[in-house]
């Protein structure tokens, strides 16, 4: 029997009652499976902040250990009242927190956080989740066992902070490690390099961990549990009558995630699309007894009547505008710019060029650095560099978008009627998505205008 991989994220691990909900869901599956968990809500951010404090102040180590102990104690005490079980579980938690403490002491004394140590430290949010959850499931009579990525091992390309899983090497190892008919609990967010060092899979990366494990196991499905129903036609906070999307193609889901729909990490689709493993999104808050996904993502490339399935936005695309009379025709300018940005570890989200301007789109957190890097290149072809950061990227997504005439006309007419100025339009790069850039002040108006036009 094929396994199901289910992923529970920080939003499912926020309040005390959340764990009981999770236990009910796992009982409802009633089959051997693999569960991938994130850190409890907010813990990874807390660890990041503590790292900086611990470097300067040794007493912060105990402050952090106490904080983690209290959170875990709360979920342990809330979920079972067997004294012996509580004691045993707390003592395992204590051991794991002490392991973390030793890394932190090292950091304090060397006064630095080498990247390979940073990745280990930040993985402790997930390690504590998997430990506690395994114990709670066992106390509920479930045959659960914790499986750490380093024990499989789940092998990555070794890039610290943002690694990619090597499926070819990992598949057999993961299958072997998770082969029994049990419930395996795996901490998400990291794998290990070929040398055995912990490598994080990028912020929000436990969706990707779960996808990677599903791929290695050739799972029946990847079930991602959330506190919302699934993908919607737009952010329900911004529009009237948002519609739930029952089914999406892999490409639609990947583009929506890339352009800001916060349901899935953008990298979740990539490992599963190639092998056709479906992704189901379900809401834990509305779960009763049966598992009925809100959105299913699979190979079917269904064209909807309105063509558009969803409109989404991201505030994380800034523009680096490089002006120069002939940048478009001059050979090598773009190559020099993109290589320099790449060498500095900056991800380029999009490039739009013309004869007199090259627009490079990068993340908010990279825009200042990107400006400096291009400035230092001192290229004679570039006469002016401008950064534009008060913008939002709005994307419309739907299979069949490029084939049907009139979609763009309808879209931009809706915006024009609300006097929204479109600063840049990018269409045709993907067969299922078009996106455009507006001032961030116009973002909400633009989303509402498009939604009203296409989803009346």
Interface contacts to ligand ASP, rule CB under 6 A: 9-10, 38-39, 44, 125, 188-189, 203-206
CA geometry: angle 159, 160, 164, nearest 5 deg: 45
Q: Return the residue of 153, 187, 204, 278 that touches Mg ion, per CB under 5 A.
A: 204
CB of 191 to ligand ASP, least distance (A): 13
Look at residues 314, 310, 386, 398 and name the one whose alpha carbon lies nearest to residue 349: 314
Residue 296 β-bridge partners: 247, 280
Selection from Mg ion, ligand ASP, none that 125 binds (CB < 5 to 8 A by kind) is ligand ASP
Q: Which of residues 360-399 bind Mg ion (CB under 5 A)?
A: none
How far is it, in rounded angstroms, from Cα 365 to Cα 369? Answer: 8
DSSP 3-state assignment of 188? coil
Sort residue 111 into left (φ over 0), alpha (ψ -120 to 50) or beta.
Answer: left
Task: Report if residue 9 touches Mg ion, rule: CB under 5 A.
Answer: yes
Residue 336, exposed/middle/buried by CB under 10 A (0-12, 13-18, 19+)? middle
**Minimum CB distance to ligand ASP smaller for 206 or for 296:** 206
State the minimum distance, in angstroms, from the CB of residue 316 to ligand ASP.
Answer: 15
* Binding partner of 189, given Mg ion, ligand ASP, none, CB within 5-8 angstroms per partner class: ligand ASP
**Which residue sits closest to Mg ion, CB atoms considered?**
9
DSSP string, 14-49: SSHHHHHHHHHHHHHH-S-EEEEE-PSTTHHHHHHH
Question: Which does residue 271 bind out of Mg ion, ligand ASP, none, counting CB within 5 to 8 angstroms by kind?
Answer: none
**Nearest CB to Mg ion, comparing residues 37 and 341:** 37
CA nearest neighbour of 423 among 384, 383, 454, 392: 392
Min dist. Cβ of residue 283 to Mg ion (A): 15
Specify the DSSP class assigned to residue 269: H
205 interface partner picked from ligand ASP, Mg ion, none, CB below 5 to 8 A per type: ligand ASP
Closer residue to ligand ASP in complex, CB, 125/294: 125
Quick check: 205 binds Mg ion (CB under 5 A)?
no
Instruction: Kindly indicate which of the ranges 6-14, 278-286, 355-363, 368-376 contains the residues binding Mg ion, using the contact rule CB under 5 A.
Output: 6-14
The least distance separating ligand ASP from the CB of residue 39, rounded to whole angstroms, comes to: 4
Euclidean distance between CA atoms 266 and 279, whole angstroms: 13
| Closest distance to ligand ASP from the beta carbon of 206 (Å) | 3
- Residue closer to ligand ASP by CB (options 202, 328) is 202
User: In whole angstroms, how close is the CB of 453 to ligand ASP at the nearest point?
Assistant: 34
Q: Output DSSP code: residue 287.
A: -
Q: Tell me which DSSP letter residue 232 carries.
A: B
- Cα→Cα distances 1→33, 179, 231, 391, Å: 10, 11, 29, 49
**Of the two residues 129 and 430, which places its CB atom closer to Mg ion in the complex?**
129
CB of 49 to ligand ASP, least distance (A): 12
Binding footprint of Mg ion on the chain (CB under 5 A): 9, 204
């Amino acid at each position: 029997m094929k396994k199901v991989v289910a992923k529970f994220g920080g939003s499912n691990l926020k309040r005390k009652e959340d764990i009981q909900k999770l236990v009910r869901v796992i009982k409802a599956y009633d089959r051997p499976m693999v569960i991938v968990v994130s850190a409890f809500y907010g813990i990874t951010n807390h660890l990041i902040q503590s790292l900086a404090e611990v470097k300067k102040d040794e007493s912060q180590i105990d402050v952090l250990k106490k904080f983690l102990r209290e959170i875990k104690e709360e979920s342990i005490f809330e979920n079972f009242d067997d004294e012996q079980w509580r004691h045993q579980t707390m003592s395992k938690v204590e051991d794991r927190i002490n392991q973390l403490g030793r890394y932190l002491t090292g950091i304090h004394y060397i006064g630095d956080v080498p990247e390979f140590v940073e990745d280990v430290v930040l993985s402790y949010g997930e390690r504590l989740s998997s430990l506690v959850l395994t114990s709670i499931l066992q106390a509920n009579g479930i045959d659960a066992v914790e499986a750490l990525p380093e024990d499989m091992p789940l092998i990555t390309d070794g890039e610290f902070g943002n690694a990619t899983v090597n499926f070819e090497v990992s598949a057999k190892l993961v299958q072997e490690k998770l082969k029994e008919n049990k419930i395996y609990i795996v901490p998400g967010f990291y794998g290990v390099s070929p040398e055995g060092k912990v490598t994080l899979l990028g912020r929000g990366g436990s969706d990707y961990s779960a996808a990677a494990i599903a791929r290695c196991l050739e799972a029946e499905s990847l079930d991602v549990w959330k506190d919302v129903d699934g993908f919607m036609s737009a952010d329900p906070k911004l529009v009237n009558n948002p519609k739930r999307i029952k089914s999406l193609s892999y490409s639609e889901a990947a583009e929506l995630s890339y352009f800001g729909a916060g349901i899935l990490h953008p990298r979740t689709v990539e490992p599963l699309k190639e092998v056709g493993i479906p992704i189901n999104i379900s809401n834990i808050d509305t779960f009763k007894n049966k598992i009925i996904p809100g959105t299913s993502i699979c190979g079917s490339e269904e064209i909807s009547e309105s063509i558009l399935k969803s409109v989404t936005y991201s505030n994380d695309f800034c523009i680096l505008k490089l002006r120069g009379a002939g940048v478009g025709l001059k050979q090598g300018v773009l190559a020099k710019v993109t290589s320099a940005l790449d060498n500095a570890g900056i991800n380029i989200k999009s490039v739009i060029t013309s004869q007199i301007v090259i627009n490079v789109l990068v993340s908010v957190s990279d825009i200042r650095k990107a400006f400096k890097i291009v400035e230092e290149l001192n290229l004679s072809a570039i006469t002016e560099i401008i950064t534009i950061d008060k913008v939002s990227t709005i994307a419309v997504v739907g299979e069949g978008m490029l084939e049907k005439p009139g979609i763009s006309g309808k879209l931009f007419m809706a915006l024009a009627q609300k006097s929204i100025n479109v600063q840049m339009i990018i269409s045709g790069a993907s067969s299922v998505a078009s996106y455009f850039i507006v001032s961030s002040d116009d973002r909400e108006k633009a989303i509402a205008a498009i939604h009203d036009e296409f989803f009346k």
